[in-house]
């Protein structure tokens, strides 16, 4: 049994377009910036999966980052949300937890309070520094990692059809070799990504970045999927690397 690559491309394109368009239309106030096909491994295995669809908006990215930052603070024991509601007891300066009067000259306690305040400030500064140093907009940040996105695991092909396609791909790989089959499969997904960009750009406020994501061939796939303008705008470091390689 062979693989009808044209039919597979059309099936993936139609399904991805339908799912992405529905999500974009359901969130008219959000600025969607990227769509990706992911979840297909290039490493040889017993099965070849159908790709998953992922998309994200600037608003969802910022919200998820804020949630992650708050969760980190809670793990560190710094629940900042409670501070604005915290009120000192009226007798807090007069008695300690043991019931003994506290000395007005307890400078050690004041030093500890100052130290606690500094610790909180240091935690916040460290978190901000970590986020900045991680290069929030770089290709290897959460902004461009489909598995981290708000909409990250949308199945494009139903189970029965996915099994049929998977069997056909596996049989082809057994006859013609894994590498040849997976290369053709990835070329098909790249075509789907390019088609999505052309069809969905009219429905979004920004120029959509659409691509196929894979850990082992990330930058190579990015160059295949993006326009030169998109590469320069979003990934200047990759363009710089390419320029340096050409001149070396």
Confidence of residue 210 (pLDDT cuts 50, 70, 90): very high
Does 136 score more than 70 pLDDT? no
pLDDT for position 137: 74
Radius of gyration of the chain (CA): 26
Domain residue ranges of the chain, discontinuous segments joined by +: 5-64+136-247
Does 245 score more than 90 pLDDT? no
Q: How far apart are CA 114 and CA 91, in angstroms?
A: 20
**Higher-confidence position of 226 and 118:** 226
Confidence of residue 100 (pLDDT cuts 50, 70, 90): very low
Confidence of residue 246 (pLDDT cuts 50, 70, 90): low
Ranges 27-31, 75-79, 103-107, most confident = 27-31
Looking at every residue in the chain, the average pLDDT score rounds to 81
Q: How far apart are CA 7 and CA 168, in angstroms?
A: 12
CA 199 to chain centre: 22
Tokens found for residue 225: 């999927």
The backbone torsions φ and ψ at residue 27, rounded to the nearest 5 degrees and listed phi first, read -130, 65
Q: How far apart are CA 52 and CA 40, in angstroms?
A: 8
pLDDT digits (tens, 9 = 90+) for 80-89: 554 443 344 3
pLDDT digits (tens, 9 = 90+) for 138-182: 888 899 999 999 999 999 999 999 999 999 999 999 999 999 999
Q: How far apart are CA 207 and CA 217, in angstroms?
A: 23
pLDDT digits (tens, 9 = 90+) for 24-75: 999 999 999 999 999 999 999 889 999 999 999 999 999 999 988 877 777 6
pLDDT for position 97: 42
pLDDT for position 184: 97
User: DSSP of 36-54, one letter per residue?
Assistant: EEE----S--S--PPPEEE
């Amino acid at each position: 049994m062979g693989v009808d690559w044209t039919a597979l491309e059309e099936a993936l394109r139609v399904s991805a377009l339908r799912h992405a368009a529905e999500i974009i239309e359901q969130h008219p106030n959000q600025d969607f910036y990227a769509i990706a096909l992911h979840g297909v491994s290039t490493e040889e295995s017993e099965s070849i999966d159908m790709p998953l669809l992922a998309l994200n908006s600037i608003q969802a990215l910022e919200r998820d980052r804020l949630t992650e930052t708050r969760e980190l603070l809670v793990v560190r024991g710094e629940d900042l949300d409670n501070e604005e509601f915290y009120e000192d007891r009226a007798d807090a300066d007069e008695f300690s937890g043991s019931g003994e009067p506290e000395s007005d000259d307890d400078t050690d306690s004041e030093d500890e309070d100052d130290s606690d305040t500094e610790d909180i400030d240091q935690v916040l500064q460290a978190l901000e520094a970590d986020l900045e140093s991680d290069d929030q907009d770089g290709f290897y940040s959460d902004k461009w990692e489909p598995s981290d996105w708000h909409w990250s695991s949308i199945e494009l092909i139903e189970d029965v059809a996915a099994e049929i396609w998977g069997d056909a791909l596996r049989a082809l790989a057994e006859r013609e070799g894994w590498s040849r089959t997976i290369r053709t499969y990835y070329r098909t997904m790249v075509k789907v990504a390019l088609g999505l960009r052309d069809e969905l750009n009219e429905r979004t406020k920004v120029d959509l970045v659409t691509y196929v994501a894979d850990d082992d061939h990330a930058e190579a796939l990015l160059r295949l999927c993006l326009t030169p303008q998109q590469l320069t705008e979003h990934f200047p470091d990759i363009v710089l690397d390419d320029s340096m390689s050409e001149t070396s």
